[in-house]
A and B are shown apart, each in its own frame.
Chain A
Amino acid sequence: MSTLRLVHLFPDLLNLYGDYANLLVLQRELTAMGAEVEIVPFTGEEDFDFSETSLVYAGPGTERRIGYALERLEPFREKLSSAREEGVFFLFCGSGAELPAQKIILPNGESIQGLGLAPYNIRRTEKRQTGDCLMVSGLSEKLVVGFLNKSGSMEGVPQPFFRMRLGEGGIIDEKGQPTKTEGYADQSFLATYCIGPLLSKNPWLRKLVASKLFDRAFPGKTPLVVPQDVSETAYQITADSLSRRLGT
């Protein structure tokens, strides 16, 4: 693979909170590491090939638009599953995290089928949940800053990716109660309800995803060292402000 291909699923339909920035900052990071990178929009082209891809990404949309996206992705279910099995990285943010679920249970009890790329279900509610998040993961001592603005929750997540320091998180238990956890991840998959440019706000997480993509595309090759940029300071200011609310 000479060029890293970052595929953006329905960029016009699923882009509610400036989430396209996740791909821009990832592209810049990977380029600085020494890779050639292209961002490719996917808008439902019949012959689209997901196998020659490094990353498949989807951001949030309105509840209706998540439904439209699922309808349009239905013919690509097998191709996406194969890409997942081959180790292509999948990243879903905000309500985009509803797409890979097994099913989405609507407030009226009906359900719609998800892409089945992840083990969890989504339970939608009429009520919106909003709020700042301060989270930790098992991968770094660094905190993750984020924001939730959603009307669904994940349930049946086998290993939540983040534990909440601040905020309720997006995962509920079998009784519908918040579990103070958020997101689902495995070796080549990350889905979180956090909205917006998560990888811009959390430089260390951006570097982690970028390293995974780089190492898979160029096994054995050492990336160039990427200098710190202003996003580090921006991250620290927000992390410190949120930490102060915890009294830490």
Chain B
Amino acid sequence: MKKQLAILACKAASLVGRWLGKGSSMPGKVALKICPDILARLSLPENVVAVTGSNGKTTTVELLVAALEKNGKTVCWNKEGANQIEGVATMLLRYADLRGRVRCDMVVMESDEQYARHTFAFLKPSLFAVLNLYRDQMTRNGHPEYIYDRIAEAISPEMDLFLNADDPLTACLSSLGRNTTWFGVAEGVLEEEKGVYDDGKYCPCCGGEMEYAYRQFATFGNFACQHCDYERDKPDFEAVSYDEESGNFTVSGRAEATLHTGLKTPYSLYNMLAAFSLAVMLGVDPHGAAQALSSHRLKSGRAQRWNVGGKDIMLLTSKHENSVSYDRSLSLAAKRGGKVLVMVDAISRKYFTGETSWLWDINFNKLNVPEVEHIVLAGQYACDLAERFSFTDIPQEKISLMRDLDRLPELFDDRADQPLTVVTCFSDRDKFIRRLPAEAQREEIA
């Protein structure tokens, strides 16, 4: 009786929430209040997939669901991205009938790295995908090894794992589950990119020195510990070639296919490779999965583009306290050249903090290329940025400060032939967008 009441209450609260335009976790909260073990009382489909990682989980889930749905599968998933237990309850109960049967072919859920262990206590996935583990919002999350320990607590021996073979810390999780399916990128596919720090230098298992046959970026590459026998596993799904110009890449191994990624970064390649591999593992034909993914336009895309009187403006949103994500944005900004705006007005979405140490983890030297003509450092923390930039090789005459964001429109009025690339975070993104002129035309990223 309690179960039925909880399901009804959740459905009703969802309707109210939708009407009010908010509340992705509120309906689940109501249901859990009525029936605290509601998740354990549901009948789930055979395939329940959870996806976590420091970067790309929202994108990968969106891509995976697109590949599944376009190929005729009905999928229950947390569209709004609410990935703690209340959000997961909302997601499942929306699809549940009054007997508690979740009516779909499969469940796909984005899981918070820290909270997966709590959610899994009620809802154990049949397949757990961990995309990567690196420095990400360490004020909120803790360091990567801390997150590793939290994820390890979520894994049980009967769980199948889907892991990034190129990331030594993520790959360590393999020993905790049942079977592991690996995805990764082959040698020579991506250009090696060096960051400011090297978290891959020491083995996550024993602390011994690691050697890499080749490196992609951050800790990703073909690693082998010089002290213990820990080394990279051969991927089951491997990207074996990538044409940066077109954004096309080919996958080999358990499935063969050619895919297209609109945002031409190595990052997107990893996300799409993961989504493709998971879709194939869930029974989608490789050709169908590749087609669905290549034609999908991301809703949660972190890149947006406008045309302002012929001026090409691209906004790249990273998480501020995530140097790997930031480095990727800087690489793209350097390729585009012209003017680059780096904006740090708020540090964190959730907290006020004067903590700017992450600025020193970012490789701003990537902007030291002739194509980048001018760099504007903007926002409340412009002076912290300037101090950081004074330790790069970038000629100081290329750099100017703009602490007052109301001066941003000055950047739209200069040379139309000079592209502007804006690198900022989620909490500052709208401060830029609302200062765009009314005539700004939104453009699609192909």
Residues in A lying within 8 Å of B, measured CB to CB: 12-13, 15-21, 24, 62-65, 67-68, 128, 130, 132, 145, 147, 149, 151, 195-197, 200-201, 229-231, 233-234, 237-238, 241-242, 245
Contact B391 A21 (CB under 8 A): yes
Residues on B with beta carbons closer than 8 Å to the beta carbon of A62:
143-146
Q: When chains A and B are docked, how far (Å) is the Cα of A19 from the Cα of B381?
A: 18
Contact A233 B207 (CB under 8 A): no
Residues on B with beta carbons closer than 8 Å to the beta carbon of A128:
142, 146
B359 at the interface (CB under 8 A from A): yes
A69 to chain B, nearest CB (A): 9
Known contacts A18-B359, A21-B360, A64-B207; is-contact A231 B387 (Cβ 8 Å): yes
Contact B358 A18 (CB under 8 A): yes
Interface 0/1 of B349-385, CB less than 8 Å to A? 0001111111111000000000000000000110110
B201 at the interface (CB under 8 A from A): yes
Contact B143 A16 (CB under 8 A): yes
CB < 8 Å neighbour of B391 from A24, A130, A145:
A24
Contact A238 B357 (CB under 8 A): no
Q: When chains A and B are docked, how far (Å) is the Cα of A225 from the Cα of B146?
A: 44
Known contacts A20-B360, A62-B146, A237-B380; is-contact A230 B355 (Cβ 8 Å): no
Known contacts A62-B146, A68-B202; is-contact A147 B353 (Cβ 8 Å): yes
Known contacts A16-B143, A21-B360, A64-B145; is-contact A233 B383 (Cβ 8 Å): yes
Residues on A with beta carbons closer than 8 Å to the beta carbon of B353:
132, 147
Q: When chains A and B are docked, how far (Å) is the Cα of A132 from the Cα of B348?
A: 13
Contact A196 B357 (CB under 8 A): yes
Residues on B with beta carbons closer than 8 Å to the beta carbon of A233:
383
Residues in B lying within 8 Å of A, measured CB to CB: 138-140, 142-146, 196-198, 201-202, 207, 352-361, 380-381, 383-384, 386-388, 390-391
Q: When chains A and B are docked, how far (Å) is the Cα of A233 from the Cα of B138?
A: 25
Residues on B with beta carbons closer than 8 Å to the beta carbon of A241:
352, 354, 380
Known contacts A24-B391, A68-B207; is-contact A196 B145 (Cβ 8 Å): no
A-B pairs with beta carbons under 8 Å apart, 6 shown:
A21-B388, A132-B352, A201-B384, A230-B390, A231-B383, A234-B386
Contact A230 B386 (CB under 8 A): yes
Known contacts A62-B146, A65-B202, A237-B383; is-contact A197 B352 (Cβ 8 Å): no
Q: In this complex, which of B140, B355, B380, B391 has the most chain A Cβ atoms within 10 angstroms of its Cβ?
A: B355
Q: When chains A and B are docked, how far (Å) is the Cα of A63 from the Cα of B147?
A: 12
B231 to chain A, nearest CB (A): 19
Contact B146 A197 (CB under 8 A): no
Contact B202 A12 (CB under 8 A): yes
Given A12-B201, A237-B381, 6 extra CB contacts under 8 A: A18-B360, A62-B144, A132-B352, A147-B357, A234-B381, A241-B352
Residues on B with beta carbons closer than 8 Å to the beta carbon of A63:
145
Contact B387 A230 (CB under 8 A): yes
Contact B207 A15 (CB under 8 A): no
**Which residue of A has the minimal Cβ distance to B384?**
A234
A198 to chain B, nearest CB (A): 9
Q: When chains A and B are docked, how far (Å) is the Cα of A128 from the Cα of B355?
A: 16
CB < 8 Å neighbour of A234 from B139, B358, B387:
B387
Q: When chains A and B are docked, how far (Å) is the Cα of A197 from the Cα of B356?
A: 8
Cβ-closest 3 pairs across A and B? A18-B360, A196-B357, A234-B383
Contact B145 A149 (CB under 8 A): no
Residues on B with beta carbons closer than 8 Å to the beta carbon of A13:
201-202
